[in-house]
Structure 1
């Protein structure tokens, strides 16, 4: 092992983390140094009118976010199932609306299970978890992405494409 300290290599700027569910969308954000993720809110999923996407785009603009990280719930085998397809479609729709802000998909296997466990361990009763579990999962997704970038020096996951072309990544 090296005696040199671990150098944290992360692009500065607020990131937004998103956990897409069938009924709710959990949202988290990072601090401007991209070190810590914290819960922001839970949006009601609106597949018919897309009001959740509109609210999310407004939030990304208000926070002046440089990137949005959407959890991709892969199967334990690593394959994509129905939930991953839904998250991917959501990320594509979001990317089409946020302009130059990069949207990335990151592996989020078992984050909701982990979020429930952490809430239970912190004393939040089962009924109380429903309101915040999506935010907690979004925090786990975003924190994992931030930590991955800090270790590797590279943006996590895959950039979302719109219209069959890769979105240009925004540089700050």
Structure 2
């Protein structure tokens, strides 16, 4: 490991965020600046529209929903270099409605980060089985199932982020696919 950069050669030092986008809640996790360990941050309420469509709620003057704004603020506070958003594919690898929703959310996040002058890159990473793994980890830790709801999204975000960090170390490059604002089409707006 390169002591000055604190990470593998070629990867700039800086915190990373992990995001688990759910229909009702968003789990948020963060790493240290060296990208070694993912830890839970908080559960952010997902913004819903009155008509039931996901992500269509009132927006700020800049056009950002409160859930996206919270993640942008966390990225700014931690000087994040990457935000990893979980991409919920089916076990077969095919994409469905939840995948499209996560892609749309990631696109809104990219736009909000750019509008705020934040340079964090947004990347989508496969999150198959993270919620199942999070439930198992919480049960193993002695948490009752009724207690899981308040922290399950954070635990899933930790798994998403830690997997991405492990992939970074193994490959010497960022994990997942880059999200660019101009290539994302939000069908929910």
Structure-1 residue corresponding to 2:52: none
Structure-1 residue corresponding to 2:24: 23
Structure-2 residue corresponding to 1:44: 45
Q: With structure 1 as the length reference, what TM-score do the two structures score?
A: 0.89
Unmatched 5+ stretches in structure 2: 1-6, 48-54, 59-64, 185-189
Q: Secondary structure at the match of 2:92?
A: coil
Structure-2 residue corresponding to 1:96: 111
| 1:11 Cα offset (Å) | 3.6
How far apart in 1 are the matches of 2:171 and 2:26? 28
Q: Give the total of aligned pairs.
A: 158
- Contact 1:11 1:34 (8 Å CA) reproduced: no
Structure-2 residue corresponding to 1:69: 84
For residue 147 of structure 2, the aligned residue among 128, 140, 144 is 128
User: Which protein has the bigger strand share?
Assistant: 1
Q: RMSD of aligned C-alpha atoms?
A: 1.2
Q: With structure 2 as the length reference, what TM-score do the two structures score?
A: 0.81
Deviations 1:104-144 (A, max 9, x none): 00000010011011001101111110000000000000000
Q: Secondary structure at the match of 2:151?
A: helix
Unmatched 5+ stretches in structure 1: 1-7, 166-172
How far apart in 1 are the matches of 2:74 and 2:12? 20
